[in-house]
Amino acid sequence: MLTIKNCETWYDLIRALHGISFEVRQGDIVALLGSNGAGKSTTLKTIMRLLDDDQPEKGTIEFMGKRIDRLDTEEIVRMGISYVPEGREVFPELSVMENILMGAYTRRDTKGIKDDIEAHFRQFPILSQRRNQQAGHLSGGEQQMLAIARSLMSRPKLLMLDEPSLGLSPLLTKEIFSIIKQINADGVTILLVEQNVNMALKYSHYAYLMENGRIVRADKPEVLKEDEDVKEFYLGISTEESVKGYKRYRRKVRFR
């Protein structure tokens, strides 16, 4: 469904993505994992063309067999990609209903929009109860649900989520991931950026590990869970003396 080949993205004189390549297969939940500053969020913004017009500076991005790396963001949304940014970024002064309607700005089918709103209110009952409340007064978990519902209003084929569990309690994190699983079961492919590696590996079909703007590992979750370095530095399972292990891991990343 989505193919990124040798993409480089720059912030002024700083290269944020160093020729990354990866794929997202239709029907999968694919996770991009890594520490802060690894380039995960930059990757999603590059795909959505939310950076400078000349980014990515090199490489290609294809969606459903068509290049999108020089299209406007609105065209990309119309093609079937939707994006939930880190921090949710709801419109705090607008009501829940108005926020959801913002997600349908590319559509003109009034009846379909109305039907989808009611479907999302059934999927997120708390939003239905608060449809006339200002979004800024919702809890963090409720705002995340609203951001997801808003993104689904464009009827995406591919939904990209940036840190959906950020700032949420463990209980709410489980609820959000259950929602993500159901969205995927309903036929929407998911590209997920997430620092909660345990949850991401539990729910994803495939995962890529990023370090310093590069893809350094790629495999099925069950394989990554058994990798000694992933266990120690991302899952918090100490397998050997930490300083020695960290130096070994950094050497591996540096020379890949």
* Residue 219 buriedness (CB in 10 A; 0-12 / 13-18 / 19+): middle
Identify the weakest region by mean pLDDT among 66-70, 73-77, 201-205, 250-254.
250-254
Nearest 5°: CA angle at 127, between 26 and 78?
Answer: 35
Q: What gap in Å lies between CA 171 and CA 50, rounded to an integer? A: 32
* Residue 249 buriedness (CB in 10 A; 0-12 / 13-18 / 19+): middle
Q: What is the pTM of this model?
A: 0.88
Average pLDDT in the 157-178 region? 93
pLDDT in tens, 7-37: 999 998 899 999 999 999 999 999 999 988 8
Q: What gap in Å lies between CA 243 and CA 34, rounded to an integer? A: 19
Domain ranges of the chain: 2-225, 226-256
Task: Give the full edge-to-edge strand order of the sheet including 81-84.
Answer: 81-84, 158-162, 189-193, 29-33, 206-211, 214-219
Residues 6+ apart with CB under 8 A from 217: 208, 209, 224, 227, 230
pLDDT in the model for residue 156: 96
Q: What gap in Å lies between CA 189 and CA 66, rounded to an integer? A: 17
pLDDT in the model for residue 175: 92
From 57, 14, 21, 9, select the one nearest 216 (Cα to Cα).
Answer: 21
CATH class of the domain defined by 2-225: alpha beta
pLDDT in tens, 32-67: 999 888 999 999 999 999 998 788 999 999 999 999
Look at residue 238 and tell me whether its pLDDT is greater than 70: no
pLDDT in tens, 211-237: 999 999 999 999 998 888 888 777 766
pLDDT in the model for residue 253: 56
